[in-house]
A and B are shown apart, each in its own frame.
Chain A
Amino acid sequence: MTPNLLRFLWLVPVLPLGGAAVNGLFGRHSSKKAITVVALGFSGLAFVLALTFALNFSAASAPYSMDLAHWLRSGDFRVDFSFYLDQLSLVMMLVVTGVGFLIHIYSVGYMWEDDGYYRFMAYLNLFMFFMLTLVLAKNYLMMFIGWEGVGLASYLLIGFWFVKDSAASAGKKAFIVNRIGDFGFLIALFLMIKHFGTLDFPALFAKIQAIGPEIAGAGTLTAIGLLLMVGAAGKSAQLPLYVWLPDAMEGPTPVSALIHAATMVTAGVYMVARSHMIFERAPSAMTVVAIVGTLTALFAATIGIAQTDIKKVLAYSTVSQLGYMFMACGVGAFSAGIFHLMTHAFFKGLLFLAAGSVIHGIGGEQDMRKMGGLRSYMPWTFLTMGIATLAIAGIPPLAGFWSKDEILWRAFGASWVYWSIGVVTAFITSFYMFRLMYMTFGGEYRGTVPRDAHGHDSHSGDGHGHGEPHESPVVMLGPLAILAILSVLGGFIGYGGRFEHFLAPVFQAGQATQEAAGEVANKSVEYALLGVSVVVALLGWVVAHLFYSGRSEMPARIARALGGLYEGVVHKYYVDELYAALFVKPLIDGSTEVLWHGVDQGVIDATVNKAADGARHVSDEARHMQSGNLRSYAGWVAAGGALVIAYMIWTGVR
C-alpha cells in the first residue's frame, strides 16, 4: 500500500459521518430520493474505499497506522486520533462496510413509508461511523469512543419508534445494561494507563509481551482481562448481561440485522480478539471467557426453542452464536472466532433481513403462530432464508458449517466439555431454526387477512393494506440475494486454514503460551468430530420436521410432559423477572424511598423551602411597618431620632 493511499484511511469512518450530518441536518426538508442518494452514497463510498484498501493490502508491510491529529497530551501519557489497519481490522472493516451497505439498500425498501425515513438513514450512517472508528482505532480510547458511539446509535435505533412505550424502554434497557459493561471496560483502561502508561495497541502489546503469563491466577493482566470481558459481555450480550438484546428487537428490522446481529454485538468479540495479547497471558481470564461463551451458547439456544416471535428467536440465536465466538476466543482460537463472526454477519444478517421481508410482506405481524404457508407467497424470501438456515445449522458446505466446525474442533482441543456443550447447542440451533422455517413457510397461512390499511411493524398509516401476503420489492430482495450468495460461499474463505493463515500475523505475534491446541490431535479425530456435528445438525432438522411440518401433536405433548421446565423456557428462565426483583426493584424502591422522598424531598427540598418560608414569615411581619401612612413614618423617624439622642446622652453622661 502506498503512503498516498494510506493517508485516506480516516475517510472510511468519516464518510458515513458526513452522510449522517447531511441527512440529520437537512433531511427533514429534503426529498426521500435525495436522502437515499446521500445515505447510500456516503456508505457506499466508504465500502468502495474499504475495498480499495483490501485490494492494496499487503501482508508484508502490515500493520499500517495513520495519525490524524493529537488528542491528549499529559506528561508521558498521550493519546492520538490515529487509525490502525492490520488483517483483523481489515476483515472487520470489510464486514462492517459491506454488510452495512447492503442493509442500507434494504432499508430503503423497508423504511420508505416511514415518516422518520431521514432520521433512520442518518442514524444508520452515524452507526457506521462509530463502528468503523471502533474497528479502526489504534488505541483503546479511540476504540472506547466507537464503543460508546455504537451504543448510542443502538439506543437511538431501538427506540426509533419512540412513541411506542415498549420501544422506548427497550432502548433504555439496552443503554443501561451496556453501561454496566462499559464500566468494566473503563476500569480496564484505567488499569492499563496505571500499569503500562499507554493505550496504543502496538506500544501496549510490546510492553505486555515482555511479561510472562500469569500462571498463578491473579494479577494485573488477569484483572484487565476480566474487566475487558465484563465490557464485552455487555456489548456482545453474554451471560449475565444478555437481557437487553432480545428486547432490542423492538427496533426496526434492518437495525436488528445490522446492529444487533451482524456488527455491533460482535464488537465484544473483536475487542477480546484485539486484546489477545492480554488474554494469552491471563489464562484464568481466558477460561472465564470460554466458560461464559459456552454457557451463553447453550442457555440462549434453549430459550430460542420456545419463542414464538420470529425476531426473538433470531435474537436468542444471535446471543447463542456470540457465545460460540467467545468460546473460540476463550480456547485461544481467535481467528476461528473472527471467522465465525464474519460468516455469522452474513447469515444472521440475511436471516434478519429475510424475517424483515416476511414481516413486511404480511403487514407487521411478528408472531410465527400467525404465519405459515408463506413459501408460495414469497418464494425469494423463502429461498434466501432457507439458505441462511442451512448455513446457521451447519449443513455443509455452507458458511456456518466451516466456521462453527472450526470452533468446535478447536474447543475439543481445549476440553471435551466445551465441545460437547457446543455440539448440543448446534443440535438445538438446527432444531429451532428449522422450527422457525416450518412455522413461517410451511403448512397453510394462519394469519388473518384484514381489509383495512395498517402499517408494518408498528409504523402506521403507510397507506397500503395487506390483502394477502406479498413478496417484497427488488430493493429488499437484492441484498437478500447477495447475502445468500455470501452465506453459501463465505465459508470457503476458511477452507484449508486460509483465513487463519491470513490472520496469523495478528494472533501469532509474540504468542507465549497457547500453542495451537488442535495440532496435537490427528486428522481422523477431526473428521470424526466433523461427522458428528453434521449428523447433529441434520438430526435437528429431522426432529423439527417431525414436530412442525405437519399438524403434529408432538410439541404440545412434549411441552406438557416437561411441565415446569417448559414453562421456564417459555418465560426465558424468568431471568428478566429475577433481575427485576434483584436489581431493578430494590433500586427503584431505594431511589423512591430514600433518595427521592428522603434525601431530595426531606433534605434538599426541605432546606430550600423552609428557608424561603422563614424569609416570607419574617418579611410578612416587617411589611406592616411600611403602611403607606405618612404619620407612622414620621413616628418612626421621631422614635429613631429619640433613640439616637438617648444614646448620645448616655455616652455623654458616661
Chain B
Amino acid sequence: MVPLSYYLVLGGILFVCGVLGFLIKRNIITIFMSIELMLNGVNLTFVAFAAQWHMLGSANALSGQIFVFFVMVVAAAEAAVGLAIIIAVYRTRETLNVDQVNLLKL
C-alpha cells in the first residue's frame, strides 16, 4: 500500500513544475502544457484523498473523484478553445512568443 504522502508529494512536484514552466517558458503552447500539468497535479491530489476517504469508509468518498471529472471536462474545453485561439494568433501574428503578443500594452 503506497502511503498518501507519496501521492501528495508527487502532486506537489507536478504542480510546481507547472508553475515554473508557466513562469519561465515563452512559447504559448508550452505555457498551455504547463497549465495542464498544474491541473493534473491537483487532480492527483484529489483522487489520492478520495481513495483515502474510501479506505476510511466515509460516505462522501466519491466527491474527490467527481471533482476530478469536472476538472478534466473543463480542461478539455479549455484546450479546445485555447488551441483555437493559438491558431488564430499564429495566423495573424506569425509568432507563438507571448512577449510579442502585446498589442494592448501602452
**A interface vs B, CB < 8 Å?**
628-631, 634-635, 638
Contacts and interface: CB of A to CB of B under 8 A. Distances in A.
A324 to B, nearest CB: 81
Contact of A634 (B23, B99, B105): B23
A629 B23 CA distance: 11
Interface string B14-33: 00000100110000000000
B102 interface: yes
Contact of A628 (B19, B22, B23, B102): B102
Contacts of A634: 19, 22-23
Contact of B99 (A629, A635, A638): A629
A541 to B, nearest CB: 90
14 contacts: A628-B102, A628-B105, A628-B106, A629-B99, A630-B98, A631-B22, A631-B23, A631-B98, A634-B19, A634-B22, A634-B23, A635-B23, A638-B19, A638-B23
B50 to A, nearest CB: 22
Contacts, number: 14
Contacts of B22: 631, 634
B51 to A, nearest CB: 23
Contacts of A628: 102, 105-106
Nearest to B102: A628
A638 B17 CA distance: 12
A305 to B, nearest CB: 79
A629 B105 CA distance: 9
Contacts of B23: 631, 634-635, 638
* Max chain B C-beta neighbours (<10 A), residue from A628, A631, A634, A638: A631
Interface of B: 19, 22-23, 98-99, 102, 105-106
Nearest to A630: B98
A638 B21 CA distance: 12
A635 B22 CA distance: 9
Nearest to B101: A630
A626 to B, nearest CB: 11
Contacts of A635: 23
A62 B98 CA distance: 100
A629 B19 CA distance: 16
Given A634-B19, A635-B23, A638-B23, 11 more contacts: A628-B102, A628-B105, A628-B106, A629-B99, A630-B98, A631-B22, A631-B23, A631-B98, A634-B22, A634-B23, A638-B19
Contacts of B98: 630-631
B41 to A, nearest CB: 13
Q: What are the 10 closest A-B residue pairs judged by CB atoms, nearest first?
A: A628-B105, A635-B23, A638-B19, A631-B23, A634-B22, A634-B23, A630-B98, A638-B23, A628-B102, A631-B22
A630 B28 CA distance: 12
A629 B102 CA distance: 9
A635 B23 CA distance: 6
Nearest to B104: A628
B56 to A, nearest CB: 21
Nearest to B20: A638
A138 B19 CA distance: 90
A629 to B, nearest CB: 7
Contacts of A630: 98
Contacts of A629: 99
Nearest to B26: A631
A638 B15 CA distance: 11
A105 B98 CA distance: 88
A105 to B, nearest CB: 73
A634 B102 CA distance: 16
A631 B106 CA distance: 17
B9 to A, nearest CB: 14
A330 B84 CA distance: 106
* Max chain A C-beta neighbours (<10 A), residue from B22, B98, B106: B22
A273 to B, nearest CB: 78
Nearest to A632: B23
Contacts of B105: 628
Nearest to B98: A630
Contacts of B19: 634, 638
A628 B105 CA distance: 7
Contacts of B102: 628
